[in-house]
Chain A
Amino acid sequence: MTAAVFFGCAFIAFGPALALYIFTIATEPLRIILLIVGAFFWLVSLLLSSLVWFMATAITDNKDERVQKYLLIFGVLVSVLIQETFRFAYYKLLKKASEGLKSLNPDETAPSMQLLAYVSGLGFGIMSGVFSFVNTLSDSLGPGTVGIHGDPPQFFLNSAFMTLVVVLLHIFWGIVFFDGCEKKKWYTVLVVLLTHLLISALTFISPHYGLSLVLSYIIVVLMGIWAFFVSGGSCRSLKLCLLCQDKDFLLFNQRSR
């Protein structure tokens, strides 16, 4: 507890998202707006899934622990489905609006679908991460001892790392999903949905942090590689970038100065 845990967990969970926001989104007004619209779409999807869960619990009206747990699992699965549906809806909206966006900035190039995919994924991810973690974070500021009743003491750390997983995954899912929709490769949509369900299912084995976290990060890395190749990256370009030999990138930077 105390400030150390608070700041540590906050930066673990939201550091990369904050860096991505500052360096890629904050400079362009249109991207900020699209980010917030993406966050809004995720919020609406959460609202609908909470409604479904609430109605399910109200209808069954059973105080039994196991029934509640099953209802919760049902709620989680429905929520994943609704989130992906809203991602698709956001894709459709952006597709329709892309002509409008072109007219918005006639002198500058219209944002490409890949950029929109990235921004929407980041919006979804930030909102999802924040909603999952911010209450836990604010509790970590107060006094207390974690795990005093035999629960695992790494509760906050696990939550922070899991939140980071969620944020990164939403970005990668967004990129892959939009690309799949653009090229009509519907199997990518299915894979995104399945990995999302898998990640949520991994969190069901809750106290066994090692297993769930390691598996989640493996999935993050794999999705990241897939998104990298989908957005046009290649081994060669990665090598050039890391060795600072990417002439286009360097020239571009020179020009902008």
Chain B
Amino acid sequence: MLTFMASDSEEEVCDERTSLMSAESPTPRSCQEGRQGLEDGETAAQWRSQDSEEDYEDGPDRHVCGGVPGRPPGLEEELTLKYGAKHVIMLFVPVTLCMIVVVATIKSVRFYTEKNGQLIYTPFTEDTPSVGQRLLNSVLNTLIMISVIVVMTIFLVVLYKYRCYKFIHGWLIVSSLMLLFLFTYIYLGEVLKTYNVAMDYPTLFLTVWNFGAVGMVCIHWKGPLVLQQAYLIMISALMALVFIKYLPEWSAWVILGAISVYDLVAVLCPKGPLRMLVETAQERNEPIFPALIYSSAMVWTAGMAKLDPSSQGALQLPYDPEMEEDSYDSFGEPSYPEVFEPPLPGYPGEELEEEEERGVKLGLGDFIFYSVLVGKAAATGSGDWNATLACFVAILIGLCLTLLLLAVFKKALPALPISITFGLIFYFSTDNLVRPFMDTLASHQLYI
């Protein structure tokens, strides 16, 4: 899911909207005043619940957003649109980088295209003699995978409802440990094997240790934004590679389709688990819990120097990769918007918001599934790049359209459905229709 951040202060409420969130939410004003009235508790809750209602009613003129209280509403709306193209590019770049990493690995490292068993979540094999049986098995695999995801998401929602924060944090930290150390070690080993480069164990240990430790610090605590973003991209790529390796052919495609339907349902239906999660977090007026969200927020400018150092930590949103690893367990994460933030003490809102830049957030689950789509296209084509490129363009266009819809509807939207639909359509049509055409043309050296 995509989230727009207009200011750090409004993140708390904005983030709880799990998907595309226009910066035009009223939260900045409410957050600012709510924060000043934090001591008054009640007023804060009043403001927030008021604003949350307004949000759902979606009236742009009622929303003074963009983080600068003094500006008239019309200008705010233009400002939001003005930032639209920049935000789209801020998401294009990391999505493209992730896909490039995945495609480069798939094309060069043989390990990720070799069949070496399946996950326990997809127990049915696809090595069956008949097409019907294979289709049935892949549908069953999908059902199992999706139900695992739904169960884990509901489990997470229940945990959150009953305030078992320690459990959740521990779970997330263990998952990110596994991802940053074990999967990186395996990846590095396979890359070294492919290029026949020898590395002794002490060097390997040092490399993996440094990579993993810095990653944990950057993601869960504080770190430079660029480094954080780079680590999130790398974890998404690693996760996508694992899926590409262990999901059988047809199951992968059916799962991609099913998960975009699930994303749509979970975010937009009133009883969807993600929406319930968001609403619970909003009621409690707290950030949900550490999760995987890529944020492209600009770092604050000099105006922030006035802030006390303790609030600086909030700027580097700590993300948890756990949700991702648990993607074996919990997939609802594609749409997790929750961002962990220590509650900020009252600070001078004015200078802050004038200096701030708006950022966009995209759930890492979205990164992962985009990369799985493109990686599968790269893996299955017989040395064919056309399908990969077509999927790449289709996904970017889907992302563009989703952000456009965000600007129009100004409420939470899932980021998977449109892109995955376009990607699937383009993959299958390119593989079956365009490839024979282009191959024949290329062999005769004809140009269209």
- Does A50 make an interface contact (CB < 8 A)? yes
Are A134's CB and B385's CB within 8 A?
A: yes
Known A-B contacts A47-B429, A127-B393; A75 and B92 likewise in contact (beta carbons under 8 Å)? no
Q: Are B446 and A204 in contact (CB under 8 A)?
A: yes
CA distance A80 to B446 in the complex (A): 12
Q: In the assembly, what is the distance between CA of A40 and CA of B393, in Å?
A: 6
- Complex: A40 Cα to B447 Cα, angstroms: 19
B441 touches A39 (CB 8 A): no
> Which one of B92, B433, B442 lies within 8 Å of A50 (CB-CB)?
B433
Which single member of B400, B438, B446 contacts A135 (CB below 8 Å)? B438
In the complex, B81 has a CB within 8 A of chain A: yes
Residue B308, interface by CB 8 Å: no
A120 in the interface (beta carbon within 8 A):
no
Interface centre among B384, B429, B436 (most CB of A within 10 A): B429
B396, B426, B441 — most chain A CB neighbours (10 Å): B441
In the bound complex, do residue A36 and residue B386 qualify as a contact, i.e. CB atoms below 8 Å apart? no
A47-B430, A134-B386, A135-B384 known; A39 vs B85 contact (CB < 8 Å): no
A173 → chain B, closest Cβ, in Å?
13
Segment at the B interface, from A25-33, A225-233, A235-243, A247-255 = A25-33
B78 within 8 A of A: yes
Chain A residues with a Cβ closer than 8 Å to the other chain, count: 50
Given contacts A39-B393, A166-B447, contact A104 B82 (CB under 8 A): yes
CB neighbours (8 Å) of B166 from chain A are none
Residues on B lying within 8 angstroms of A by beta carbon are: 78, 81-82, 84-86, 88-89, 92, 383-386, 389-390, 393-394, 396-397, 400, 426, 429-430, 433-434, 436-442, 444-448
- 28 A-B pairs whose Cβ atoms sit less than 8 Å apart in the complex: A29-B86, A32-B89, A33-B89, A36-B396, A36-B397, A40-B394, A47-B429, A47-B430, A47-B434, A49-B437, A50-B433, A50-B436, A50-B438, A54-B433, A72-B440, A76-B448, A103-B78, A104-B84, A131-B389, A132-B441, A132-B442, A132-B448, A135-B442, A138-B385, A155-B445, A162-B445, A199-B447, A203-B447
**Closest chain B residue, CB of each to CB of A130:** B389
A127 to B393, CA, bound (A): 10
Does A140 reach chain B (CB closer than 8 Å)? Answer: no
**Pair A206/B445 contact, Cβ less than 8 Å:** yes
Known: A134-B389, A200-B447. A37 touches B397 (CB 8 A): yes
Which 6 A-B pairs have CB atoms at the shortest separation, nearest pair first? A29-B89, A29-B85, A50-B437, A50-B433, A79-B448, A30-B85
Q: Known contacts A76-B446, A80-B448, A159-B445; decide if A135 and B385 are in contact (CB<8 Å).
A: yes
Chain A nearest CB, measured from B423 CB (Å): 12
* CB pair B386 A135 closer than 8 Å: yes
Q: Which residues of A contact B447 (CB under 8 A)?
A: 132, 162-163, 165-166, 199-200, 203
Q: Say whether B383 contacts A83, CB under 8 Å.
A: no
Decide if A193 is an interface residue (CB 8 Å cutoff). no
Query: In the complex, are the beta carbons of A50 and B434 less than 8 A apart?
Result: yes
Contacts of A47 in B (CB 8 A): 426, 429-430, 433-434
Binary flags per residue of A130-148, CB closer than 8 Å to B gives 1, else 0: 1110111011000000000
Q: Chain B's nearest CB lies how many Å from the CB of A121?
A: 16
In the complex, the chain B residue whose C-beta lies closest to that of A128 is B448
Q: Which interface residue of B383, B396, B448 has the most chain A CB atoms within 10 A?
A: B448
Q: Are A76 and B384 in contact (CB under 8 A)?
A: no
Measured CB to CB, the nearest residue on chain A to B448 is A79
**Known: A80-B448, A155-B445, A166-B447. Contact between A46 and B400, CB under 8 A?**
no
Separation of A106 and B429 alpha carbons in the complex (Å): 40
Q: Which residues of chain A are within 8 angstroms of B438 by Cβ–Cβ distance?
A: 50, 131-132, 135
- How many whole Å from A34's CB to the nearest CB in chain B? 9
For the complex formed, measure the closest distance between the CB of B410 and the CB atoms of chain A, giving whole angstroms: 16
A191 at the interface (CB under 8 A from B): no
Do A72 and B84 touch across chains, with their CB atoms under 8 A apart? Answer: no
Q: Which residues of B contact A30 (CB under 8 A)?
A: 85
User: Contact string, A96-125, partner B, CB cutoff 8 A, digits 1/0?
Assistant: 000000011111000000000000000000
Distance in Å from the Cβ of B343 to the closest Cβ of chain A? 34
Task: Contacts A135-B385, A136-B442, A162-B447 given; indicate if A54 touches B92 (C-beta within 8 A).
Answer: no
Given contact pairs A36-B393, A69-B444, A135-B383, enumerate 12 new A-B contacts (beta carbons under 8 Å): A29-B88, A50-B433, A72-B440, A104-B82, A104-B84, A131-B389, A132-B441, A138-B385, A159-B442, A163-B447, A200-B447, A203-B445
Give complex CA distance A158, B445 in Å. Answer: 9
**Chain A window 202-240, contacts with chain B (Cβ cutoff 8 Å), 1 for yes, 0 for no:** 011010000000000000000000000000000000000
In the bound complex, residues from chain A placing their C-beta under 8 Å from that of B385 are 134-135, 138
Task: Flag whether A94 is at the interface (Cβ < 8 A).
Answer: no
Contacts of B436 in A (CB 8 A): 50, 54
Q: Tell me which residues across on chain B come within 8 A of A134, comparing CB atoms.
A: 385-386, 389
A17-53 CB contacts (< 8 Å) to partner B:
29-30, 32-33, 36-37, 39-40, 43, 46-47, 49-51, 53
